[in-house]
Chains A and B, each alone.
Chain A
Amino acid sequence: MKKSNELWRPVVIGLFLVFMILPVIATLLFSVSTRWDHTLWPEGYTLDWWKDVIARREFALTIKNSFLASFGTMVCLLVLVTPTTYWMRLKVPQGKSIIELMASFSFGVPGVVLALGLISFYSNVPLPIINHPVILIAACMVLALPFMYRPIVNSLDAIDFRVLTEASQSLGANGWAILSEIITPNILPGIISGCLLVFSTVFSEFTLTNLLVGTVFKTLPIYLVAFTRFDARQASALAVVSFVVAWVTSLLIIWVTSKSGGETAHIVGH
C-alpha cells in the first residue's frame, strides 16, 4: 500500500514538468531544424533561420523598441513608486487604501478596457500622446504598477524604516538624503526584483502595444505575431529570444530574492 501511495507524486510532477517545458524546448528545436513537419524528430539542423532573422533590419529595431518601452516603464515607475511608498508608510498611513487601489488597478481591469479608456480619453484632451510611445509607457506603468509596488512595500515593512529615518534626522540628514542614502540601500533587493519584474512584464507585453501603438511602434512581440502568419521558422527564433529574456530576468529575480533571504513577492496576473 505504501508503495502505490508514493508512485503518484513523481508521475504528477513529471507530467507537470513535461507540460511546462516541452513547448519551450520544441520551439528551440524548431528554430534550428531544417525540416520538422512530418517526422517525429527534426530531419536535420541548421542556423539559417537565425541568420535570416538577425539579418533583418526590423529585428534590431523591434528589440530596441522593446528595450526602450521596458526600460522607460521601469525607470518611470521607480521614480514614481519609491518616494511615494516611503512617504505614505511614514507620514500618510490613511493613504494606504487609495494607493493600494491604484496599485492593483490592472488586476481588475482587462488590458483591452484600459486601452479603450486611454484612447477615448486622450483623443478628447489637448495632449497629443495618442499613437505615441508615451501612451504605451503610461499604459505599461499601470499594468506593471503592482509588480513595482509590492516588493517595495514588503521590503519597507521588513526594515525598521521609522527608526532609520528618525536616527538620520537626528544626525541632521534631510529628506532626500535619507531616502537616497539610507532607505534605498536598505530596500535594494525589493527595488531590484520590482525592476526586473516590470522589465520582463513589459518586454513580453502584447495587448496594450498592439491596441495603442501597434502600427507605429513595433516591439518584439508585435513582430513575432506578424511573423507567425507567414514564416513559422523565423517566428520560432523570435519566440526563443523572448523566452531567453523572460528566463534570464526571472532567474535574476529568484537569485536576488534568495540572496536577500526575503520571500519572493508573489504575483498575480500575467
Chain B
Amino acid sequence: MTVSLNSPHRTTKATASWAVWLGLLPFIIFGLAFEFLPLLTVITSSLTTKGSFTLKFYQQAMDPLFLRSFGNSIQLSATTAFLGVVFGTLVAYAIITTKNRSIQNALTALSDVTTNFGGAPLAFAFIVILGSTGVITLLLKEVGISLYPNFRIYSISGLTIAYLYFQLPLMILLAIPSLYGLKREWHEAALNLGASTFRYWLEIALPILFPALMGEFLLLFANSFGAYATAYTLTGSDVDLITIRIGALITGEVQLAPELADALAIISLLIMIICVIGYMRLSNLSNRTRQ
C-alpha cells in the first residue's frame, strides 16, 4: 500500500505524514459544512430544551398521530420492497437465462436507466395511465373491472404501484450478480438426484440466496422509506407518510415545535441507517459464503 520506492526521502515523509491529509481538506470541510454539522444540529436540537437535555420531543413523536405516519411509511416500504424482491428476482432470472446477449444487455441497460427515474415526471405518468380517466382504468372498465372508487392512484395503494417503478429495476440490478452465484451444476445435480426444479428452488437455491435477498429487501425498504417526490407529486400533502409530514413541517404548511420535526427526522434516519447497515452486512455475508 505505502509508496516506498524512493527511500532516500523517508525523513521528509515522516514529517509529511500528517501534511498529506491537507490534500483531503477541501473534501472534509465540504463534508463538515453540508453533511455532518447540519445533521448534528438536528440531533442536538431534538435532544435539548432551553439548554438542557431532554427526551420529551421523542415522547411527543410517539403520539398516535405520528405513529400512524410511521406505520404507513413502514407498510408502504415493506410492501414495495417485498413485491420488488419477488418480481425483481423473477425478471432478473429471466434476463440472465436469456440466450440472446444483446437482449440481455438491453434489459440490463433499461433497468440501469429507470432506477434513477423516480420523482415528479414519473408520478405524473402514473396519473395519465391509472388516474380516474387513465388509459389502464378505461381499458379495465372496458372488460368489466372498475378500479374506481375502490382504488385511487392518489392513495397508498396507488403509491405502491408508482414506487414499484423504481424498486423493480433496482432489485433487478442487485439480483443479477446474486443469481450468477448459483452454479448451473447444482441445478443439474439436484435434477440427477431426482428432485424437481421446484424442489431445487425451494430447498437449494432459495436458502443459498436467502441472506442476499434479505439484504436487498432492506435496501429497497430504505429506498422507499426515504422517498418524497413521488408521493408529493401524486398526493400533495394529503397522504400520511412520515417524509411528507416532515416536509410539511419544513415548508410551514403545518405549524409545530421545530424540535418535534427534528425528533421525527432522527427517528426516520435511524430506521434508514439500520436498513442500509443491515444490507451491507448481509451482502458481505453472502459474498463470503459464496466464495
A residues lining the B interface (CB < 8 Å): 5, 8-9, 12-13, 16-17, 19-20, 22-24, 26-27, 30, 36-40, 80-81, 83-84, 87-88, 90-93, 95, 98-99, 102, 105, 107-122, 124, 138-139, 141-142, 162, 166, 197, 200-201, 204-207, 210-211, 214, 221, 224-225, 228-229, 232, 235-236, 238-239, 242-243, 246-247, 250-251, 254, 264, 266-270
Known contacts: A23-B122, A84-B24. The answer to whether A113 contacts B246 by CB under 8 A is yes
Q: Which A residues are CB-close (under 8 A) to B115? A: 267-268, 270
Q: Which of A27, A38, A254 contacts B109 (CB 8 A)?
A: A254
Q: Name the interface residues of B10-45: CB closer than 8 Å to any CB of A.
A: 20-21, 23-24, 26-28, 30-31, 33-35, 37-39, 41-42, 45
B94 touches A12 (CB 8 A): yes
Say yes or no: is B289 at the interface (Cβ < 8 Å to chain A). Answer: no
A121 touches B119 (CB 8 A): no
B116 touches A246 (CB 8 A): yes
Closest A residue to B105 by CB, please name it: A258
A13 touches B109 (CB 8 A): no
Q: Name the interface residues of B213-227: CB closer than 8 Å to any CB of A.
A: 219, 222-223, 225-227
Known contacts: A20-B165, A206-B233. The answer to whether A117 contacts B38 by CB under 8 A is yes
Q: Which of A23, A120, A214, A246 lies at the interface centre, i.e. has the most chain B CB atoms within 10 A of its CB?
A: A23
Report Cα–Cα, A26/B122, bound state, in Å: 11
User: Smallest Cβ distance from A83 to chain B, in angstroms?
Assistant: 8
Which secondary structure characterizes the binding site on chain B?
A: helix
For B, the interface residue count at a CB cutoff of 8 angstroms equals 91
Q: Which B residues are CB-close (under 8 A) to A235? A: 124
B112 touches A250 (CB 8 A): yes
Report Cα–Cα, A254/B265, bound state, in Å: 36
Q: Which B residues are CB-close (under 8 A) to A30? A: 128
B243 touches A206 (CB 8 A): no
Q: Which B residues are CB-close (under 8 A) to A114? A: 38
Q: Which B residues are CB-close (under 8 A) to A266? A: 112, 173
Q: Which of B114, B126, B134, B226 contacts A110 (CB 8 A)?
A: B226
Say yes or no: is B49 at the interface (Cβ < 8 Å to chain A). Answer: no
A138 touches B250 (CB 8 A): no
User: Smallest Cβ distance from B222 to chain A, in angstroms?
Assistant: 8
User: Smallest Cβ distance from A136 to chain B, in angstroms?
Assistant: 11
B229 touches A207 (CB 8 A): yes
Report Cα–Cα, A71/B1, bound state, in Å: 36
Say yes or no: is B107 at the interface (Cβ < 8 Å to chain A). Answer: yes
Q: Name the interface residues of B239-273: CB closer than 8 Å to any CB of A.
A: 243, 246-247, 250-251, 258, 261-262, 265-266, 268-269, 272-273
B30 touches A141 (CB 8 A): yes
Apart from A20-B110, A116-B262, A250-B113, what are 9 other A-B pairs with CB-CB below 8 Å?
A17-B110, A38-B138, A88-B24, A112-B250, A113-B42, A118-B34, A120-B38, A120-B41, A142-B35
Report Cα–Cα, A112/B103, bound state, in Å: 38
Q: Which of B2, B23, B91, B276 contacts A87 (CB 8 A)?
A: B23
User: Smallest Cβ distance from B123 to chain A, in angstroms?
Assistant: 8
A236 touches B128 (CB 8 A): yes
A113 touches B268 (CB 8 A): yes
A221 touches B121 (CB 8 A): yes
B276 touches A120 (CB 8 A): no
Report Cα–Cα, A267/B210, bound state, in Å: 22
Which secondary structure characterizes the binding site on chain A?
A: helix
Q: Which A residues are CB-close (under 8 A) to B159? A: none
A9 touches B124 (CB 8 A): no
B232 touches A210 (CB 8 A): yes
Q: Name the interface residues of B108-144: CB closer than 8 Å to any CB of A.
A: 109-110, 112-122, 124-129, 133-136, 138-139, 142
A110 touches B272 (CB 8 A): yes
Q: Which of B21, B139, B229 contacts A221 (CB 8 A)?
A: B229
Q: Which A residues are CB-close (under 8 A) to B120? A: 204, 206, 221, 224-225, 239, 242
Q: Which A residues are CB-close (under 8 A) to B117? A: 204, 246, 270
Report Cα–Cα, A264/B108, bound state, in Å: 10
User: Smallest Cβ distance from B22 to chain A, in angstroms?
Assistant: 9
B109 touches A99 (CB 8 A): no
Q: Which B residues are CB-close (under 8 A) to A200? A: 116
Report Cα–Cα, A30/B127, bound state, in Å: 11
A247 touches B133 (CB 8 A): no
Q: List 5 A-B contacts (CB under 8 A).
A: A13-B91, A23-B126, A26-B125, A83-B23, A166-B5
Report Cα–Cα, A190/B64, bound state, in Å: 49
Say yes or no: is B228 at the interface (Cβ < 8 Å to chain A). Answer: yes
Closest A residue to B29 by CB, please name it: A80
B121 touches A204 (CB 8 A): yes
User: Smallest Cβ distance from B252 to chain A, in angstroms?
Assistant: 10
